[in-house]
Structure 1
Amino acid sequence: MGEKSKLTGAAKVSYGLGAVGKDMVYMLSASYVLYYFQDILGVSAAAMGVILMVARVFDAFNDPIMGAIVAKTKTGFGKFRPWLLIGTVTNAIVLYLMFSAPPTLNGSGLVAYAAVTYILWGVTYTMMDIPYWSMIPAFTEGGKEREGLTTLARSCAGVGSAIITIITVKAVSALGRMFGGSGINDREVERIGFSYFTIIIAVLFVLFTVICCINVKEKSTVDMKSASVGEMFKALISNDQAMAVVVAIVIVNCSIYITSNLVIYFFKYDFGGVNWRDGYTLFSTFGGGIQILAMMLLYPLLRRFFTSIKIYFISMGMAICGYISLLVLASTSMTNVALLFIPGFFIFAANGMLAVITTVFLANTVDYGEIKNNRRDESVIFSMQTFVVKLASGISALIAALALQVLSLSNDTEETLAEIDYSKGVDAMQKMGLRMTMTVIPIIGLVFAIIWFKKKYILTDEKIDEISREIAKRKTQAQ
């Protein structure tokens, strides 16, 4: 591939495949590790909450370290691809081990196993995630080509996440019955099923990354700027608008992640029914589709009529309406999963648009920082996005796990029936506690985020235009 050659179709497809595999693995861990260890294996929910919180915060601080290691790497295979391959293979192995806990383990031994494998999973995922996104400048020419590839990769990542959200519960149940034999209880079915399902996902992950590394060749060595944690906080303190956006991202993501951590418990123990897996799968399929459509179609449509700030408030209002309607519907005796599509639409659509809007807001704070502090902290600001998302993930996992501990929700049945209605063994107080945790706490968070943002964020479209003109003027004067 020549220095100035265009990116081939094969390279684009291969890079997109890498994103599909990468986010399949991420979503499997993010959405099901709490459920696997707490509900299936019986680890204390409080212990799992602490493990997930500590591991995610450690992982967030680990990102800049991995960035520095990658930046210093020089091999004949390039700077990024060696770590992409090493990280993928080790992460795939750890993923399998994490979802294949030895059945003889229990008590503190099982807690230790969960802690070690989850922390190792986070470290090895960072090992391949940082070079995957950082290598884009090494094989694109910039401008539209780079922007187009980034958009493609983000879309493919969404597809990978959606696949896992849609198929996991049903696939795990089917594989558990296929390889578990007859006469085993439902917990054992899921335990065996997760082990076999993880093998399939891990193999696909490695295969997609190998295809990516073969067809995506680094054109040139690229200076990779890696922001330290100290630089991140320094940039935050000196840039009040970056601080405003980052705090909003943490609160919004915490609110939404609490619900996503608990929704499987809602279907299993509250909405219930012997076919709870069908209802969960249908709802997840609908929600994933709405979220992607909101990012690709609804946001651009609304942007024609409203400013990004107004769309932010519209999205927050939609999410709050969704949570209120979810609480109302869940408190009735309805059993039709299609009715849950109403709150689902508002919550998932809002989530999709907020993912786009917060990225736009962060980009705006870079220009603002250049005017205010006479320096452009672009790499630092965007490194922070990964950091705060992981921080929010850890906080929300802890809150969700503590709620499960207080509510004493766990699969403790030893029945060998093919399908069980778990909601029969849960009392009204437990159900209401679960509903309140996954709706009222997020509403409180979102209301706070609205008030915070309204008071702190000042970068209107007019202000951004003013800043852009000032930057252009400074550049002209410098020449």
Structure 2
Amino acid sequence: MSDELIDPAVSSSEDKLSLSTKLAYGAGDLGPAITANILVFFLLPFFTNVAGLGAGIAGSILAVSKIWDAVNDPIVGVLSDRTRSRWGRRRPWILFGAIPFGLAFFAQWFVPFPGNTWALVAYYILISVLFNSFYTAVNLPYTALTPELTQDYDERTSLTQFRFAFSIGGSLVSGILHPLIVGQFENNLALGYVVSGAIWSVLSVLPLFWCFWGTRERYQEDIEDVPFREQFRIALSNRPYLFVIGIYLFSWLAVQVTASIIPYYITFWMRLPNSWIALTILAVQGTAFAMLFVWNAISARIGKKAVYLLGMVLWILAQAGLFIVQPGQPILMLALAVAAGIGVATAYLIPWSMVPDVIELDELTTGQRREGVFYGLMVLLQKVGLAAGLFFVGQALEWSGFQGTSPDQPEAALTAIRIMIGPIPTIALILGIILAYFYPITKERHAQILLQLAERKKASG
């Protein structure tokens, strides 16, 4: 496969991406989505119910590991900007990071020191640091591929649609099958988690190789050797980008808090068996998967901002309903989960499709392309949202007097669970709506940016 780069001045309307390229690109997010989904839904219960850690300690472990991510993410972003190889600058990271990424995920499901709390804490922090490092090594360069595959506004939304079709599909399948696999080892849950971890590790690594071989970077610019801190200053001085990272942070925080508390909400508030966790995940993620295609078509007509605002309103109404729902109303709960999935789809689709637009505004302003830095901050925020969600849920359960796996929880713990399924995500979503309302790059403004860039390149050519 040739890796010859196409002139960025070529009209994007004459250079559409093939279906095979879009499928290969989308597959690149399957492994990271599977691992992230399993971690957000099941790692905290694994810590509290299998490894025997307290809820507060368990919720703190991933938050501590994110201290390294604050350094790791931007470093990988800058290094991928500067990578030079016959395979491009992003794809080598995907190729060589794939297997270590899978091994690190697998290692998280062992309990090597039963009963030794601090040895377990040290082990899980170490493994979390390793996993997050390799996750960044494959996922950040992958996300930075989008603007290097196409410069077309609607093609980028289409790429994002394929990406999150795989992402939500992987989340959906893993969210349903993981608890079912573990449930086959009812008398030895620790072994069940190890077996399931091994299966998902393999299934997470293989699509990364598909992405590597099925895509190529076509739009590259030489990256000026700008100091690390200066690149971040430039990225954070991009006003539309600040809106995008705010929109994404609040949306993702709502996703993470809701996902983290769902197993506890279903088990202790709704008093339903574990099989309902899989059904609820199916309702949310299955709906989100289907709605990606609907929202993508609507976005082409009314724009990204309007789609996001519509999705968030639906999501907020669903979260309010989940707060009100009472035990004995499982069908209503599932109906609200479906409604939430309609909104969740826009949180997946829209913020990521906005990032390439602000990258081109930065290029117009500075004359340089710094995809790695912009995407590095986005991936970092994704992990911050995950860490904050798990930390917040763990601490809230601890403060409310949560009693481990006991079916009879104190009233304060049940109230805390309900607040985290309703009001807390709603506050985050409202803040995201406010930022989206003022987001300044429309489809028309993006077309003007591309025209100005093309005129500049012709003048300098």
Q: Which of 387, 394, 409 is the matching residue for 2:380?
A: 387
CA pair 290-51 structure 1, distance change in 2 beyond 3 A: same
Q: CA deviation at 1:475?
A: 6.5
Residue 200 of structure 2: aligned partner? 201
Once the two structures are superposed, the pairs formed by residues 162-177 of structure 1 within 5 Å of their partners are 162-174=172-184, 176-177=185-186
1:355 aligns with 2:348: yes
**Match of residue 310 from structure 2:** 314
Q: Which position in structure 1 is the counterpart of 2:334? A: 341
Alignment check: 8 A CA contact 1:38 1:410 kept: no
Residue of 431, 444, 449 corresponding to 1:448: 431
Task: Give yes or no for the alignment of 1:61 onto 2:71.
Answer: yes
Secondary structure at 1:393 match in 2:
helix
Post-superposition CA distance 1:288-311 (Å, at most 9, x none): 11111222113423653x443333
- In the other structure, the counterpart of 2:10 is none
Does residue 296 (structure 1) correspond to residue 289 (structure 2)? The answer is no
> Following the alignment from structure 1 to structure 2, what is the Cα–Cα distance between the partners of residues 83 and 369?
24
Pick from 126, 134, 137: which aligns with 1:116?
Answer: 126
Aligned amino acid, residue 334 of structure 1: G
Q: How does 1:179-194 map to 2 (within 5 A)?
A: 184=187, 189-194=188-193
Offset from partner CA, 1:268-298 (integer Å, 9 cap, x none): 211113xx22211111112111111222113
Instruction: Verify: 1:128 aligned to 2:169, yes or no.
Output: no
- C-alpha contact 2:154 2:300 (8 A) present in aligned 1: no
Tell me, yes or no, if structure 1 residue 38 matches structure 2 residue 64: no
User: Structure 2 CA distance, aligned partners of 1:162 and 1:70?
Assistant: 30
How many angstroms apart in 2 are the aligned matches of 1:364 and 1:76?
27
Give deviations 1:66-98, integer Å, cap 9, x for gaps.
Answer: 344456667788866664354222222222221
Q: Distance in 2 between matches of 1:251 and 1:61?
A: 22
| Alpha-carbon contact 2:240-2:439 (below 8 Å) kept | yes
Whole-Å separation in 2 of the counterparts to 1:76 and 1:314: 44
Q: Does 1:409 find its partner at 2:425?
A: no
Q: Is the 2:323–2:419 contact (alpha carbons within 8 Å) kept by the matching residues of 1?
A: yes
Bigger shift: residues 201-210 or 156-165: 201-210
Measured after TM superposition, the shift of residue 206 of structure 1 is 3.9
Amino acid across the alignment from 1:161: S
Residues of 2 paired with 1:65 and 1:313: CA distance? 33
Query: Match of 2:320, as an amino acid?
Result: I
Aligned to 2:277: 280
Q: For residues 269 and 313 of structure 1, what CA distance do their matches in structure 2 show?
A: 33
Calculate percent identity across the aligned residue pairs.
20
1:262 corresponds to: 261
2:420 alignment partner in structure 1:
437
CA contact 1:4–1:141 (8 Å) conserved in 2: no
Indicate yes or no: 2:380 matched with 1:397: no
Pairing partner for 1:326 from 322, 327, 342: 322
Deviation track 1:169-212 (CA, whole Å, cap 9, x = no partner) reads 121111x23xxxxxx4xxxx322211111111123334444566
How far off is 1:260 after superposition?
A: 1.0
Give yes or no for contact 1:91–1:125 (8 Å, CA) kept in 2. Answer: yes
* Pair 136,248 (structure 1): closer, same or farther in 2 beyond 3 Å: closer
| CA shift in 2, pair 1:193/1:227, >3 Å | farther
Indicate the residue corresponding to 1:271 in structure 2: 270
Corresponding residue of 1:416 = none
Partners of 1:250 and 1:397 lie apart in 2 by 15
Contact 2:3 2:217 in 1 (8 A): yes
> Structure 1: where are the runs of 5+ without partners?
178-183, 414-421
| Larger Rg computed on CA atoms | 1
Partner deviation per Cα, 1:25-61 (whole Å, 9 max, x = no partner): 3322333222211233222322233321232352253
Residue 457 of structure 1 is matched in structure 2 by 439
Q: 1:4 Cα deviation (Å)? A: 7.3
Give unmatched runs, 5+ long, in structure 2. Answer: 6-15
Report the alpha carbon displacement of residue 223 of structure 1 after superposing the two structures with TM.
6.6
Tell me which moved more, 234-243 or 375-384.
375-384
Using the alignment, how far apart are the partners of 2:355 and 2:159 within structure 1?
A: 20
Is the Cα contact below 8 Å between 2:362 and 2:369 reproduced in 1? yes
**TM-score for both structures, normalised by structure 2:** 0.82
SS at match of 1:62: helix
For the residues of structure 2 that align with 1:300 and 1:253, how far apart are their CA atoms?
23
Contact 1:71 1:223 in 2 (8 A): no
**Is 1:234 matched up with 2:233?**
yes
Q: Paired residues, what number?
A: 448
The question of 1:102 aligning with 2:112 is answered yes
Tell me, yes or no, if the aligned pair for 1:42 and 1:410 is still in contact at 8 Å: no
One-letter amino acid of the counterpart of residue 422, structure 2: T
Q: Which residue of 1 aligns with 2:33?
A: 23
- Residue 218 and residue 450 in structure 1: after superposition, are their counterparts in 2 closer, same or farther (change >3 A)? closer
What letter corresponds to residue 350 of structure 1 in structure 2? G
* Comparing 427-436 and 111-120, the one that deviates more: 427-436
Amino acid at match of 1:198: G
CA–CA separation in structure 2 for the residues paired with 1:211 and 1:295? 22
Q: What CA distance in whole angstroms lies between the structure 1 residues aligned with 2:456 and 2:138?
A: 39
CA distance in 1: counterparts of 2:342 and 2:122, whole angstroms: 38
